[in-house]
Structure 1
Amino acid sequence: MTSTTPSSFALDRTPEIVASPRALSDLGRTALATLMLSCLWVTMQPFQTKFVEGATSGSPVNQLGYGLLALVGGLVLLTATPRPALRALASPVWIVMALVLVQSAAHSPTPDASLRAVLFALAAMTSATAVLCLTPSVAAFRLVLAGAALAVLGLCYGGIVALPGAAIHDASGPEAAHAGLWRGVYPHKNMAGPVMATLFFAGLYLLRCRWRLVGGAIAVLAAIFAIQTGSKTTAALLPAVAVLVTFGRMFGGRILPVAALAVLLAAMALLTLGAAISPVLYDGLQWILPGTTFTGRLDLWRFAIGVLGDRGWTGLGFESFWATPVVKGAEISMELSWDPRGIVNAHNGFLDVAIALGWPGLACAVAVIVVLPFRDFLRIGRGREEVRLGDFFLMVLAFSLLNAMLESFLFSRNNPVWISTWLAIVGLRLLATRDVADRR
């Protein structure tokens, strides 16, 4: 590009490699983007052994750290992002989603704490968006991705060696069965596993870009760590998603992967939440997989849906349900597989969104995290760079959406799994916009 407008990987294909002021500026932007993504993936409190969630669970370290990242991210969006990319980011549906999140605090029993949680969730999303807008080119994004991935892997493996008490689950607490399973810098194996899946997809993307040594190392190290977390969901979804997107693209272009993922998501929704709501779907689930309860999750989902009741149109407020008096004061059936009074989330991201925002809010969220990204993937150009990067983002998104049927992380303010999901959503949006801008 010859324009003096600041570039981003969304619009610029030709980064300068000579020692010019522009090249030095690009180097600084790449380094800052790498640092920001590393902080978002590692979190502000690595090796924290207690998993804390909820609107009132704020930490001064998190508030300061994510607040600073959001400040930097906001400045990047205002000063270093091309106007076409800004217009793409100002999606009306995204704006409505932000407003729905903010207004949900009004329905919370602790509105101030809920609003604070919403603002920090939006701050983390702004920071992730800025990582992509700050990166000056696709080639530079590969450096950012590799640098952040190696930082996460280095800390996680370093923790296994130097801080095994923090990086490996032990037999203390209510989850003694997890003893010996790896979690790295994260508080739980079910967070570490999906993060490693994202890093595996990053390594695969770098391999496809002929970064054989770095990409191969990242993919292998991430896969080994994912196995050691003992996360069954990750073990099943990681290869399935990689194969589906890769071979779907190979044999069906852009349409087949999206169509297959849409069908798979619909089927998963019917067999999980659908089975918790409809006796007919429950019978169908038992016919397909006799005895399946998703480790007691069906009881938990029925309980949550029952408590939501007539508040389904408005929701109960962002991060204002689990571990609150709303749950602790509810009538608990002795037949439940889990005691919901000690649960921190629904173990279903879509249900937690419905609990927080209501069913209309869930519909808006589905548009933001499913419908629009799938549409953007279909609009990405056919160039080699676009295909490879688009496939990477789709792998991350597909894994996250399928994983969200059994785990909760959607819109979670400091959850690196959500950060990866949002990064993929924004990446697909910017790639689609880049192709439109090029055609003009």
Structure 2
Amino acid sequence: MSLSVKKDDKLSDLFLQTKPVPSGLEGFSGLKSEARQILLERGFPTTKNEEYKYTNISKRIADSIENPDAPSPISDTSQIESYRELLASIDGYEVVFNNGIPDLSQTDMSDAKFDAQLFSAMDASVAGRIGTIEKSEKDAFSALNTLSFSEGLFINIPDGTVVEKPIVLIHYVQADKNGDCIHPRYFVKSGKTSQATIIELTVYTGSQTVFVNALSEWSVAPNAHIRHYKLQDGHKDTLEVHNTSADVDRDATLMSVVLSLQAGMIRNNLSLNLNAGNCEGNMYGLYLLNGKTHVDNHTNVDHTQPNSDSNELYKGILTDHSRGVFNGKIFVRQIAQKTNAFQQNNNILLSEDATVNTKPQLEIWADDVKCSHGCTTGQLDEEALFYLRARGMSKESAKALLLYAFAGEVLDKISIEPFKKYCEKIVHERLGGSY
């Protein structure tokens, strides 16, 4: 990103005022200073920037945000009941973020096989890893998170550890007033031959406008196997940017499943760096949009060494005045022979006012590879709909069944059964079917 903005840009006025480094984070002052300088020089993206051509989230934030500071902590998250049944059914390790700040006092680590530590409690050698995978110059909102985070969480899964129960990162968000901002941040380090599943979800209370600018970094060591499931289901006045970057080492796998169901506007930036042979990155997404919801998925897979695999499938179902954007990039470096890379984006539009902009991209410098990409945008299969109706199904039931079958290819990637059933139930209901 190289486009600069006017010095009187509202977002610069909001976010770039000089502030003291939060207590305990003095070791990050250099990182924060660098992020601030990047934003001063480059500003925030507009639609003139190719990466944000179809997603003018900077303007939405500028029009909606009144206070760049985080809301005060929620005093009693036990009063938030909307996800209690789900959390009980998952029976995982609940790691709580309270308005963007990790709160280990609400996390039971008594029998956990992983470590969770606040950024402010880390020694210098560990703290030095922060910002090495997702660098501030990569995206303006990554720089903004680096400048603005007041605490973070470091999750360490030791070598040889299999975490049988899911780790559930639950973000409680409750704005004090319209236009509050939070900047959650965490780093996951999975040791050699470790295994874990991390489920991430956000619980919003109230209907105030809130801007969530989240960033996570993932270090997946040799022969580690990590699954990350993220559910995005806010309300019509939530604005979200999620920057997620991972380094994947030899013989390791990382799977990402992102379900984007409701919000005002969401921008997801997901990057996988496949840095060694026989490693694998899998990226799956489903966006199920109505109203004026706008979701933009930007993905990046970088094959830097021979014999690595990537699989990517994103699907969208859109109605009303919603808008979906997909931009997927696959890079295959010259040394990365024997690469296998697959990317596909499929969309169904259910109204004339729904819009999809899709751009799959391949950049290949090696010659011994198997790579493919493609996209489709269309409507429901009328022949299949007629077939089901001819066998006694109502139009609504037949339509819901076909749409669920379309979405199910992504939902089937979720291996934690209680969470999968919960997501299936939401999707069935949103598509007008029964469950």
* Pairwise same-fold verdict (TM > 0.5): no
With the shorter chain as reference, the TM-score category is under 0.3
TM-score scaled by length of structure 2: 0.25
* Structure (1/2) with the larger helix percentage: 1
* Structure (1/2) with the larger strand percentage: 2
TM-score scaled by length of structure 1: 0.25
